[in-house]
Amino acid sequence: MEVASSSKSDEMKPTVWILAGQPVLDEVIAPIYWGLEEEGIPAELREVSGGSAESLARQAAGSSPLNVGIGIDGAGQTVALHHRDLSVGKPLLSLAADELRPMLLRQLGRNAARLVKGDPLVLQNEDAARTEVQHSTKPSHNEADELQALIVRIVTELLQKE
Amino acid sequence: MAYIAGVDIGNNSTEVAIAQLGQSGEVRFLSSALVRTVGIKGTVQNAMGIIDALDLGLEPLSIERHDLDIVLLNEATPVIGDVAMETITETVITESAMIGHNPSTPGGQGLGIGTSVTLDDLERVSTDQPWIVIIPEEMDFREAASRLNRATSAGLDIVGAIVQKDDAVLINNRLHSPVPIVDEVAHIERVPMGMVAAIEVAGPGKTIEKLSNPYDIATVFGLDPEETRRVVPIARALMGTRSAVVIKTPQGDIQERRIPAGKITLIGQERKTEVQVQDGAEAIMHQLDQVYPLVEIEAEPGTNVGGMFEHVRKVMANLTDQPVSSVRVQDVLAVDTLKPQMVLGALAGEYTLGNAVGLAAMVETHKLPMQRLARKLEEEIIVRTIVGGIEAEMAIYGALTTPGIQPPLAILDLGGGSTDASLIDEAGVIHSVHLAGAGDMVTLLIDTELGLEDRELAENIKRFPLAKAETLFHQRHEDGSVQFFHEPFDPRLFGRVVVLAENGSIPLDTRESLAKIVAVRQGAKRKVFVRNAIRALERVAPANNIRLISFVALVGGSALDFEIPQMISDALIEYGVVTGRANVRSTEGPRNAVATGLVLAHVEKQKE
């Protein structure tokens, strides 16, 4: 996995920015990268000292030439996807600690790329959910329920906005 | 001074016009109202809706129901339409032989031809021929890539891969020598091993060239002319896709099968003819013209069309208390259409476009029990209620209040179940016809061609324009204009084609482009309404010549459609006819024509 260095010279490369608080956990970062890579959108990772996932995501979106950023908080507890035009504190998608599994992380990466491309987001994918259930190391997880919970949360957030 | 109410009970809506009749016989219209029709038109259940509509019209006037002197009902046309679809071709794969789907992100580029082999068996195969590797979902993409790289280093000629998960780009990016890869193949276990396979991936923004051409498929697999003929359905199914796989199996066969759809018998006044539904819409419509005027149409029992005919007969029989055998189908409209169908035996949910024929039928009988409804209403509201006039004639009288119109005038009533036309000539004589096929048929065609299997959604696509949410804050309308919003869209709308329905945007869960959906919608409207407009006008026109009609006014619900009036106008312009939406009483638009006509006709009768 290529992790770009944070030199000033490549700041204007068209990439999705990922800002991650230390320590950066590979099992969280890698699936996000794969989601972006499968969709063909480059990303670059910058490590920072701290901050909430939402504020890091907003910051990343503000700096990304593609206007899309992902934030991962220092403890590796939460992940958020943000767009530069969205208000602070209102990320497009976010994942809580108990949602940080490969399938959902990859989906978040995929959605970051799709946000750049203007393609419909993948919010429900039963095939992928089934695949994840079959190969999950923790078979007790019910992906479908969690997906539903995620969607309920997104909808609730949106409703609160209005 | 007296108050009069005209009431028009339609299939979908009930309309009211309330007027005041002065001492010297002058009519002043006071208000109009519109509600949904309760129950099937012409039944006593309609009374509830009529009372609602009357109250709605009276409320702003501070007039009570009992202040009305008379309520006039229309002699509703006893016409019911229904629609059905008959599929006439389908593609059947008897052994897995084709994958032609559009994963959103295939890997690599180009054409690869080799023998299918699983990743596990790769270590045991020879180096003297090219291979196409099958990668099941259990396999992590990194592991898959490194095994492929090892095999290539060992001298194996790997020319492509078929992957179950959405991993094609990830695998391809990790290969030392990239190959075309097709992913998201759900039923990968159905891919036969040890068979010659061809895989093609086109570059971004392009579509495949080789596997969509029967002669290239013949070249790849060394097919003889007879075999080439049989791969035509494959080639057709693969046209326009970005990636595809074709596998040749010894017993495998792909057939385009014609499904026996039965025949219909057209019985005219002078002659009788049979036509096979599978011969298509043109053949049916041609035969229909030959036997016109029509007395009855029969369809074979056990077919969809036969079932539909039975259903409309039954509904009409119940409605009018007549035996089913006495209800006759008096017109049909047949339309050729394409129906996306799952390929039987497919590997990744591929579909092909099968041919289908949509049929609308119309039954007409003597009289609906309007008198019964009038008595029921009279009991309920204690106001004298009479059946005031025939719908088609009343609509003409109403339409004549449109500024700028004079006879010979034809009206086209574009409804849900039937398309009706009436003509009034200079002498005041009125002719009318009722034809099968209207709004419901358009909905059926949209539903079928887009493979929605959701009539309500199809209805919304018919009624409202489309847009696409291009960013989180702006959407582009189908006419190309852009609209900005202050609040971001729901993530579920982003990037999707949406229907701008009355109660908000409805996202469409389809990969079809906006342009394709617009084309289907407009095509469906033309096939039904433009065709029926011409058919209906030819029948009522003097000497069947549309040029002899000076004015055509559109009335009814579908006249309010955002594009149908223009389509009809475009079609009629070459006949030199003034075509437009009616503007009843200069204020009501295409609405309220019948209710208005009832009041005017009643007043005329009083004067005599």
* A64, two tokens: 């990304």
3-state secondary structure B499-559: EEECCEEEECCCCCCHHHHHHHHHHHHHHHHHHHHHHHHHHHCHHHCHHHCCEEEEECHHH
pLDDT digits (tens, 9 = 90+) for B554-580: 998 778 899 999 999 999 999 999 999
Alpha-carbon distance B301 to B152, whole Å? 62
Chain B hits for A80, Cβ within 8 Å = none
* Helix and strand numbers, DSSP H then E, in chain B: 16, 30
Nearest-neighbour CA in chain B from A34: distance (Å): 7
Q: How many residues does chain B have?
A: 608
Could you list the beta-strand ranges (E) of B153-260: 157-163, 181-182, 196-201, 243-247, 254-258
Q: Which of B508, B511, B512, B521 is nearest to B443 (CA)?
A: B521
Examine residue B349 and state whether it is found in any structural domain, yes or no: no
The sign one gets for the Cα dihedral B318, B321, B327, B329 is negative
What pLDDT shows up at residue B568?
Answer: 95
Name residue A60's beta-bridge partners: none
- Say whether A40 and B105 touch across the interface (CB within 8 A): yes
Residue A141's pLDDT is 40
Q: Confirm whether A23 is domain-assigned.
A: yes
Is the Cβ of B496 closer than 8 Å to some Cβ of chain A? yes
Q: Are B445 and B528 in contact (CB under 8 A)?
A: yes
Residue whose C-alpha is closest to residue B544's, from B433, B438, B436: B433
Task: Look at chain A and report how many structural domains it folds into.
Answer: 1
Q: Does any domain span residue A112? A: yes
Kindly state whether residue B558 falls inside one of the protein's structural domains.
Answer: yes
ipTM value for the complex: 0.75
Per-residue pLDDT at A58 exceeds 90: yes
| Mean of pLDDT values over A135-143 | 37
Residues B280 and B213 in one domain: no
What is the arithmetic mean of pLDDT over B240-255? Answer: 77
Tell me the per-residue pLDDT of A62-106, one tens digit each, with 9 for 90 and over: 999 999 999 999 876 799 999 999 988 889 999 998 888 899 999
Q: Return left, alpha or beta for B524; rule: phi > 0 is left, psi -120 to 50 is alpha, else beta.
A: alpha
Query: Under the phi-then-psi rule, with left for phi > 0, alpha for psi from -120 to 50, and beta for the rest, what region is B188?
Result: alpha
Where does the pLDDT of residue A3 fall: very low under 50, low under 70, confident under 90, or very high at 90 and above?
A: very low
Q: Which residues of A touch B (CB under 8 A)?
A: 34, 37-40, 83, 85-86, 90, 92-93, 114-115, 117-121, 123, 127-128, 131, 134-135, 154-155, 158, 161-162
The average confidence (pLDDT) of chain B is 88
Q: How far is A49 from chain B (nearest CA, A)?
A: 30
Sheet with B385-390: strands ordered across:
B27-36, B13-21, B2-9, B70-75, B385-390
Percent of chain A topping pLDDT 70: 69
Sheet hosting strand B79-87, strand order edge to edge = B79-87, B351-364, B328-342
**Distance spanning both ends of chain B, measured CA to CA:** 18
The CATH number linked to A56 is 3.40.50.10150
Which of B139, B468, B492 is the best mutation test for A, with the most CBs of A within 10 A? B492
For the segment B194-215, the average pLDDT, to the nearest whole number, is 91
Tens digit of each residue's pLDDT (9 = 90 or more) over B358-387:
888 888 766 667 888 999 999 999 999 999
Interface probe for B, chosen from A38, A82, A90, A92 (most Cβ of B below 10 Å), is: A38
Judge whether A3 lies within some domain. no
- Mean pLDDT (whole number) for A104-132: 78
Among candidate residues B451, B449, B410, B416, the one with its CA nearest the CA of residue B551: B410
B253 and B230 in contact (C-beta within 8 Å)? Answer: yes
Q: How many domains in chain B?
A: 4
- Kindly indicate the confidence band of residue B19, based on its pLDDT and cuts at 50, 70 and 90: very high
Touching check for B494 and chain A: CB below 8 Å? yes
pLDDT at A1: 42
Flag whether B360 is in a domain: no
Q: Does B488 touch chain A (CB under 8 A)?
A: yes
Average pLDDT over residues B431-440: 89
d(CA B584, CA B594): 10
Instruction: Name every chain A residue with its beta carbon within 8 A of the beta carbon of B498.
Output: none
CA dist B215 → A43, A123, B474 (Å): 43, 41, 45
Does the pLDDT of residue B341 top 60, yes or no?
yes
**Is residue A73 helix, strand or coil?**
coil
Owner of token pair 């959604």: B457
pLDDT at B21 over 50: yes
φ, ψ at B93 (rounded to 5°): -105, 115
* Both tokens assigned to B233: 């359905």
Confidence band (pLDDT; 50, 70, 90) for A136?
very low
Domain extent for A35:
14-119
CATH number where B472 lies: 3.30.420.40
- For the ranges A153-157, B12-16, B441-445, the lowest mean pLDDT is seen at A153-157
Question: Which pLDDT score is estimated for B226?
Answer: 87
Hey, is the C-beta of B242 within 8 angstroms of any chain A C-beta? no
Inter-chain CB proximity A127 and B186 less than 8 Å:
yes
The single residue listed with the structure tokens 């008897």 is B94
A40 vs B138, B169, B472: nearest CB = B169
CB contact at 8 A, B243 and B102 = yes
pLDDT band of residue A160 (cuts 50, 70, 90) is low
What tokens were used for B573? Answer: 């312009």
B92 CA: distance to closest CA in chain A (Å): 25
Mean predicted confidence (pLDDT) in B305-319: 81
CATH assignment of the domain containing B115: 3.50.30.70
Q: Are residues B56 and B108 in the same domain?
A: no
Q: What pLDDT does B191 receive?
A: 84
Q: Once rounded to an integer, what is the mean pLDDT over residues A57-64?
A: 94
- Average pLDDT over all residues of chain A: 78
**Alpha carbons B65 and B141: distance in angstroms, whole number:** 76
| A44 found inside a domain | yes
Question: Which of A115, A121, A135 has its CB closest to that of B138?
Answer: A135
Domain for residue A162, yes or no?
no
Q: Is pLDDT of B532 > 80?
A: yes
Residue A39 counted as domain residue: yes
CB contact under 8 A, A121 and B471: no
Of chain B, the percentage scoring pLDDT greater than 70 comes to 95
Residue B273's pLDDT is what?
92
Mean pLDDT value of segment B136-156: 94
By CB atoms closer than 10 A (0-12, 13-18, 19+), residue B27 is middle
Chosen domain end from B252, B282, B314? B252
Distant-in-sequence, close-in-space partners of B283: CB < 8 Å, separation ≥ 6: B275, B276
Distance from CA of B495 to the nearest CA of A (A): 4
3-class state of residue B17 by DSSP: strand
pLDDT value at B536 more than 80: yes
Burial class (CB in 10 A: 0-12, 13-18, 19+), B428: exposed
For the packed helices B391-399 and B593-607, what is the interaxial angle rounded to 10 degrees?
90
Q: Confirm whether A113 is domain-assigned.
A: yes
Please count the CA atoms within 13 angstroms of the CA of B371 that sit on its side-chain side.
2
Name residues 66-105 of chain B within 8 A of A (Cβ).
104-105
- Same-domain check for residues B385 and B422: no
Burial of B351 (0-12, 13-18, 19+ CB in 10 A): middle
Of the segments B183-187, B459-463, B510-514, which one has the largest average pLDDT value?
A: B459-463
User: Is B186 an interface residue toward A (CB < 8 Å)?
Assistant: yes
Question: What is the arithmetic mean of pLDDT over B394-421?
Answer: 91
Of the residues B229, B252, B275, which one is the last residue of a structural domain? Answer: B252
Let me know if residue A5 belongs to a domain. no
Question: What pLDDT score does B121 carry?
Answer: 93
Distance, CA of A31 to CA of A101 (rounded, Å)? 9
For residue B146, give how far its alpha carbon lies from the nearest alpha carbon of chain A (Å): 14
- How far away is chain A from the Cα of B537, in angstroms, using its nearest Cα? 46
Neighboring chain B residues of A34 at a CB cutoff of 8 Å = 141, 170
What local confidence, expressed as pLDDT, does residue B369 receive? Answer: 76
pLDDT tens digit sequence for B78-128: 667 777 888 777 777 665 566 666 788 899 999 999 999 999 999 899 889
Q: Which residues of A touch B105 (CB under 8 A)?
A: 38-40
What are B37-64's pLDDT values in tens digits? 988 888 888 999 999 999 999 999 999 9
Percent of chain B with pLDDT over 90: 55
* Range of the structural domain that residue B133 is part of: 95-252
| B22 and B102 inside one domain | no
Cβ-based burial of B161 (10 A; exposed 0-12, middle 13-18, buried ≥19): buried
Q: Does B471 touch chain A (CB under 8 A)?
A: yes
Rounded CA separation B354/B339 (Å): 5
What are the tens digits of pLDDT across the range B444-484?
Answer: 999 999 989 899 999 999 999 999 999 999 999 999 999 99
Domain membership of residue B23 (yes or no) is yes
Give the count of alpha carbons within 13 A of B438, CB side only.
27
> How far A121 CA sits from the closest chain B CA (Å)?
7
